[in-house]
Amino acid sequence: MSKPRKFFALLSSVLMLSGLLAACGGGSSDKENESSPSASGASPSGSASVSASAPAPSESQEKVKLTLLVDNNQDTVIYTKALVDAFQAKYPNITIETETRPTGSEGDNFVKTRLATGDMNDVFFYNSGSLMQALNPEQNMIDLTNEPFQANVIDSFKPTVSINGKIYGAPVGSTMGGGWFYNKKIYAQLGLSVPKTWAELMENNKKIKAAGITAMIGSYKDTWTSQLIMLADYFNVQAQVPNFAADYTGNKAKYATTPAALRGFQKLEETVGYYNKDFLATTYDAGLKMLAEGKGAHYPMLTFAVPALVQNNPDKIDDIGFFAQPGDSADQNGLTVWMPGGAYIYKNTEHPEEAKKFVEFVASAEGVSIMGTVSKPSGPYAIKGAALPDDTPQVVKDMLPYFDNNQTAPALEFLSPVKGPSLEQITVEVGSGKRKAADAAALYDQDVKKQAQQLGLAGW
């Protein structure tokens, strides 16, 4: 089994790069979570650049048809269509047939089954980080390390789609942050300020609740949303235990026995009682609506919610702000970020050259600006030189100081392939007061064992 060695190679490269992680952002977060980062670059010049883009550098006039697999998120479908249309206009000899798949864990299953039966599309969009590692990239994907377009990709993205120092993907869209959306009107009305410590945040919660307003929006009907507080706490974990990811992967550190890591579960436990009454029946979409309409003050969520917020409540977007999940000390305040998903090329594609052209296009400044015409970014782009457009909503701009001041850390799933499958059920139990934090952490430690063994990691 060469997996462990592979993995440590990856890990060390990640650790080396983590110092450089000034600019990064989100991919998608977890299993049940959408498999694609929704947002992506916006650009005022986007539409102009489509029409201005040079006509096809037609090397071969032979007609080629590529197939593309993406998830069926509304936002993904929208920006994929924009990308494909622009690409086909640029390369008239290549046509792309887009196929959609389910999101979340059904989608993971779908992709794995396709690969196992030798039936994958030429190009497919999929998560980066731990989920991508589970696809056995060396056997299933074309090595893109030496493609010229990798020069455009920010360095912090590359390790999340790499194995053994080889890069297998290119970023699709923008990074994103995991933290707390808040309603500025409610904050202004109650004279609250953005909290720098967890204690301040809970103090705000208390005041909001006392004022008769729902302090926190819970949307546990979509169970993955219950993990946010625990996952978004990783900046604070890393600040106190810099080696946590490596030790955790090597089965040397545990959530239950590492106080800094346990804090994530404890913080979640402390929020019990602040949620909307029907939080167990509320969906993610309904949660966003509540946030936009000011029916709840806080919503812990990934910023990939921004495009949906803009599409569904364009007039309310300026009422919404964002801050990172604070730690226990104001000195250490920073943002946990998620990387965008990747575009990968199937190893057995019949048209590797054309497929590479498409991936290059997706990962180009041009591709990013085309995506931006239909979908707002959720954070800085993973493409160098692709600046956020001026009309980027303020809620996304709220994130930028963290990046500018080097106060970011990637989410654990981009540093370690170990993520337990039952986390979202466990966090639902904690968030609804059915299980204590310590108990939950111990249960989760047991849960991740399966994943580590499945991946064949050393030490498990």
Partner 1 sequence: MSRSLRRIGVETFAVLASVVIFWIPLYFVLLTAMKSAPEASEMNLAWPSKIQLWQNVKEVVAFRDHMLLRAFWNSTVLTVLSLAAMVVVCSMAAFVIQRRNDRATPWISFFVLAGLIIPPAIVPTIWVLNEIHLFKTMIGLILVEVALGFPFCVMLYRGFMAAIPREIDEAAVVDGYGGYRLFFTIIFPLLQPVTATIVVTQAVFVFNDFTNPLYFFPGAKNATVQLTLYNFTSQFLSQWNLLFTDILLITIPPLLLFIFFNKKIVAGMTTGSVKG
Partner 2 sequence: MTKVFKRIYTYNFLLPAAIVYTVIFIVPTVMSFFFSLTRWTLFKWDFIGLENFKTFFQEPSLSIGFKNTLIYAAVTCGLKVVAGLLLGVFLTGKIRTKDYLRSVVFFPVLVSTIAVGIAFGMMMHPTTGLINTTLALFGIEGPDWLGDTRIALLSVAAVDVWKGVGLATVIYIAGILAIPEEYSEALQIDGGNAWNKFWNITVPLSRPAANAVIILAFIGGLRSFDLIWAMTKGGPGFATDVIASIIYKQYQGGFYGLATAGNVILFLFVTAIVYPLSRYLTRKEVDL
* Direct distance between the N- and C-terminal alpha carbons of the chain, in angstroms, rounded to an integer: 14
Closest listed residue to residue 241, CA positions, set 327, 301, 319 = 327
Is residue 105 within 8 A of residue 113, CB to CB? The reply is no
- Residue 421 near which of partner 2, partner 1, none (CB within 5-8 Å, type-dependent): partner 2
Q: Which of 73, 223, 258, 333 binds partner 1 (CB under 8 A)?
A: 73
- What is the closest distance, in whole angstroms, from the C-beta atom of residue 454 to partner 1 in the complex? 15
Residue 280 as a binder of partner 2 (CB under 8 A): the answer is yes
Tokens of 447: 């849960």
Residue 428 as a binder of partner 2 (CB under 8 A): the answer is yes
Residue 313 as a binder of partner 1 (CB under 8 A): the answer is no
Residue 105 as a binder of partner 1 (CB under 8 A): the answer is no
Q: Which is nearer to partner 2, 261 or 452 (CB)?
A: 452
- Residue 406 near which of partner 1, partner 2, none (CB within 5-8 Å, type-dependent): none
- Binding to partner 1 (CB under 8 A) within 263-292 occurs at 285-286, 289
Residue 425 as a binder of partner 2 (CB under 8 A): the answer is yes
- Residue 251 near which of partner 1, partner 2, none (CB within 5-8 Å, type-dependent): none
Q: Which is nearer to partner 2, 248 or 275 (CB)?
A: 275
- Residue 97 near which of partner 2, partner 1, none (CB within 5-8 Å, type-dependent): partner 1
> For the window 116-155, what string marks contact with partner 2 as x by the rule CB under 8 A?
x-----------------x-x--xx---------------
Closest listed residue to residue 204, CA positions, set 226, 182, 219 = 182
Q: Which is nearer to partner 2, 15 or 280 (CB)?
A: 280
Closest listed residue to residue 39, CA positions, set 290, 404, 393, 352 = 393
Stretch that binds partner 2, among 144-152, 275-283, 301-309, 353-361 (CB under 8 A): 275-283
Residue 426 as a binder of partner 2 (CB under 8 A): the answer is yes
- Residue 33 near which of partner 2, partner 1, none (CB within 5-8 Å, type-dependent): none
Closest listed residue to residue 88, CA positions, set 422, 309, 357 = 357
| Helices 423-431 and 259-270: angle between axes, nearest 10 degrees | 50
Residue 18 as a binder of partner 2 (CB under 8 A): the answer is no
Residue 366 as a binder of partner 2 (CB under 8 A): the answer is no
Measured CA to CA, the distance from residue 454 to residue 70 in angstroms comes to 26
- What is the closest distance, in whole angstroms, from the C-beta atom of residue 378 to partner 1 in the complex? 16
- What is the closest distance, in whole angstroms, from the C-beta atom of residue 150 to partner 1 in the complex? 30
| Helices 74-90 and 352-362: angle between axes, nearest 10 degrees | 120
Is residue 230 within 8 A of residue 236, CB to CB? The reply is no
Q: Which of 133, 451, 452, 457 binds partner 2 (CB under 8 A)?
A: 451
Residue 450 as a binder of partner 1 (CB under 8 A): the answer is no
Q: Which of 18, 28, 223, 325 binds partner 2 (CB under 8 A)?
A: 223
CB contact burial 221-247 (16+ within 10 A = b; e otherwise): bbbbbbbbbbbbbbbbbbbbbeebbbb
Q: Which is nearer to partner 1, 97 or 328 (CB)?
A: 97
- Give the interface with partner 2 as residue ranges (CB under 8 A): 31, 105-106, 108-109, 112-113, 115-116, 134, 136, 139-140, 220, 223, 277-278, 280-281, 421-422, 425-426, 428-429, 432, 434-435, 443, 446-447, 449-451, 453-454, 456
- Give the interface with partner 1 as residue ranges (CB under 8 A): 72-74, 77, 97-100, 102-103, 110, 113-114, 116-119, 285-286, 289, 308, 312
